[in-house]
Amino acid sequence: MIRHDTPTASWIQKTSGVCGGEPCVRDTRHTVAGLVQWRRLGLSDDQILQQHPDLTKPDLDAAWEYYSEHQAEIDRAIRADEDA
């Protein structure tokens, strides 16, 4: 489970009207599905963080944890994106 009680805590949230309600990191428009797609393309955490300084390592850790707990949901979102 993602902890919210530390100063560096990150979280995943779904907000109606933001990125189609897909799970995003904090108050950003970085979807968990998008981050997983980048990782599948071979980008390391360091490469993602270099390209997106608004993200932190705890953000990515939260995204990877969310994916591990909701893999079917995220994989469906990725397939829908690929089919669009």
Share of the chain above pLDDT 70, in %: 89
Hey, what CATH topology would domain 24-83 get? Arc Repressor Mutant, subunit A (1.10.10)
Q: What is the pLDDT of residue 9?
A: 56
- pLDDT at residue 62 above 90? yes
Domain spans of the chain? 24-83
Place 7 in a pLDDT band, splitting at 50, 70 and 90. Answer: very low
Confidence of residue 34 (pLDDT cuts 50, 70, 90): very high
6 secondary structure, DSSP code: S
Q: CB-based burial of residue 6 (10 Å sphere; 0-12 exposed, 13-18 middle, 19+ buried)? A: exposed
Q: CA angle 67-34-6, nearest 5°? A: 55
Does this model's pTM top 0.95?
A: no
Task: Name the residue with tokens 């608004």.
Answer: 54
